[in-house]
A and B are shown apart, each in its own frame.
Chain A
Amino acid sequence: MSAGKENLFEKKMIRLQEIVTALESGDLPLEEGMALYREGAECSRFCREQLEKARHELSLWQDGELKALTPDEIGGAARGREPQEAE
């Protein structure tokens, strides 16, 4: 669960921007430009998919272990519980 994979969206976005800049500068061979364009299109597609299915994953760190947590387990129930916690 270290970095790398999770930052892919940002990395691809940055890469996409780099590619655009490189293409705009225009002093690279056509084949390279085409390869870059393909890569850029791939980055764009990836990021779009990522955005379409983007959901925040929620987990709970408790008692030294990690548990999955669904949004349902918080929120609504909380409204009833907080007063008890207060005072």
Chain B
Amino acid sequence: MQDGILTVRALTEHLRRSLEGRFPFVWVRGEVSNLSRPGSGHIYFSLKDQDAQLQCVWFRGQQRQAEQEQAFDPLTGEVFDRPRPSPLELLRNGLNMLCAGRISVYAPRGQYQLLVELVQPAGQGLLAQAFEERKRRLAQAGYFAQERKRLAPWNPQRVALITSPSGAAIHDFLELARDRGSGAQIRLFPASVQGEEAAPEIVRALTAANAQDWAQVIVLIRGGGSLEDLWAFNEESVAEAIFHSRLPVVAGIGHEVDVTLADMTADLRAATPSHAAQLLWPQRAELRQRLDESAAALRRAFAIRLEREELRLRERENALRWFSPQRHQIRLAERLARLSLALRGAARQWLTNKSRVLDGLERSRRAALTPGRLDALQARLSLLRAALDAALPHRLSNAVHSLTLAQNALRAAGVAWLETRFRRLESLEAALAANDPLAPLHRGYALVRTARGGILRSVGQTAPNREIEVRLADGRLTAVVSRVSPDAAQSGEKNI
């Protein structure tokens, strides 16, 4: 069952759980021994018989019921006819006692022990025996099986209450119920809770409550009392009715220490009637708290929801604004500003570059055109102009002079040329005069011409009988050619 190696503590815990589960409530009879009552108020003793011994602890908290002489029941207010001696006083070494409680393990000593809840003189052992026997039988029939136990409804609204209307139990129950739940309807099914009539009345009430099919849960309660007082709840008929109840049954019978068969059969066992009310209904404050928490959660959830919606809305608004003309304009303006900036930067850069070039040029210009050089050039220019100014009149006067010279020369040349011509004309006139064709005529030569006027140079140019004109120095003769006699050597030449 266990895997691996267990620590002592783990094993002891296992043992404790299985023992407590197996023996939640037992009756044991034996002789008291080793009784000790230390200052803590707890009572330690052993129960033994011939063959065995059982360690028992009666814790102080469990002794309340037994603390004083039992004139009345401290919880129910039930008054006993005769005061009963307290079990605390009865308890002493060597006495035969009947103890009830659960088995547990005291881990520090590895010891199992009985946690005593109830101590009675063993004389009452008959009832206990009957109880045990019946319990065994019912257990076998499955009455106490955990599997068949149903959950009582939480905060039930309709409750069937089975108890005595005159007992303290109902008072306690209602007292505690007052501050619990959210307002339930409680229907009381009156039944005697002790005596001969109790069992059948309880059974009848259980049957009636089931038959009505109105309640959500049946509550069966009774105040504390002696074993005999509670005996009705150990009756088999009652256990059987609870076992067969269709509605879940909550039982709160007697004190914490009292466990009846009805308790064990019920779906839920309450230690006392008050406890039954506690188990049924949550405290109203708790309900209120639960409601407050729910309401707060509601507001919170809705606030978160709203916040989220608002956030989404804002996102969309932002998106919308992004597309708005205004926004667009702003974006454009931003872009413009950016571009202007870039432009300014570029311009500045450009200017810088240019001014650098300009500086360079300026520098070289300054190097090339120093004022001194300029002055020199200017001086030269002045000189040139002066030279020019000086040269121009000179050249003019030269030209005028040349022109005069040329005029003179021309005039001289003209005269000379005329003289030459004169002289040549005179010589030519002389020559002409010397060469006058008529002049020879004076010396006897004649000039012969044809009738037509042509000079007759050859005899061949005329023929006999042709008229010819012969010029002589003092006149002319018209003659006719009688004969043509050419010279042998010179034919054609006329012989005059």
Interface set of A (CB-CB < 8 Å, partner B): 1-3, 6-7, 9-10, 13, 16-17, 19-20, 23-24, 26, 30, 33-34, 37, 40-41, 44, 47-48, 50-51, 53-62, 66, 69, 71, 73-79, 81-83, 85-87
Closest 4 CB pairs between A and B? A23-B301, A54-B183, A75-B171, A6-B157
- CB nearest to A83 among chain B residues: B79
Shortest distance in angstroms between B431's beta carbon and chain A's nearest beta carbon?
152
**Chain B neighbourhood of A23, CB < 8 A:** 298, 301-302, 304-305
**Chain A neighbourhood of B416, CB < 8 A:** none
Shortest distance in angstroms between B162's beta carbon and chain A's nearest beta carbon?
10
- CB nearest to A75 among chain B residues: B171
**Chain B neighbourhood of A30, CB < 8 A:** 305, 309
User: 20 A-B pairs, CB-CB below 8 angstroms?
Assistant: A9-B182, A10-B182, A24-B301, A40-B298, A41-B295, A44-B298, A51-B182, A56-B174, A56-B186, A59-B186, A71-B174, A74-B171, A74-B174, A75-B171, A77-B166, A78-B167, A78-B170, A82-B76, A85-B192, A86-B194
- CB nearest to B79 among chain A residues: A83
Shortest distance in angstroms between B202's beta carbon and chain A's nearest beta carbon?
14
How many Å lie between the Cα of A35 and that of B308 in the bound state?
17
- CB nearest to A79 among chain B residues: B77
Q: Known contacts A47-B291, A59-B185, A59-B188; is A7 also within 8 Å of B304 by CB?
A: no
Q: Is the CB of B166 within 8 A of A85?
A: yes
Q: Known contacts A1-B214, A16-B294; is A82 also within 8 Å of B158 by CB?
A: no
How many Å lie between the Cα of A2 and that of B157 in the bound state?
11
Q: Is the CB of A86 within 8 A of B186?
A: no
Contact stretch, chosen from B125-133, B282-290, B402-410, B456-464? B282-290
**Chain B neighbourhood of A6, CB < 8 A:** 157-158, 184-185
Q: Among the listed B174, B177, B287, B295, which residue makes an inter-chain contact with A44, where contact means beta carbons less than 8 Å apart?
A: B295
Q: Is the CB of B188 within 8 A of A58?
A: yes
**Chain B neighbourhood of A62, CB < 8 A:** 190
**Chain A neighbourhood of B298, CB < 8 A:** 16, 19-20, 23, 37, 40-41, 44
How many Å lie between the Cα of A21 and that of B93 in the bound state?
65
Q: Is the CB of A82 within 8 A of B166?
A: yes
- CB nearest to B160 among chain A residues: A61
B359 contacts the other chain (CB 8 A) = no
- CB nearest to B228 among chain A residues: A87
**Chain A neighbourhood of B195, CB < 8 A:** 85, 87
Q: Among the listed A9, A26, A53, which residue makes an inter-chain contact with B308, where contact means beta carbons less than 8 Å apart?
A: A26
Q: Known contacts A44-B294, A56-B177; is A20 also within 8 Å of B301 by CB?
A: yes
Q: Is the CB of B171 within 8 A of A51?
A: no
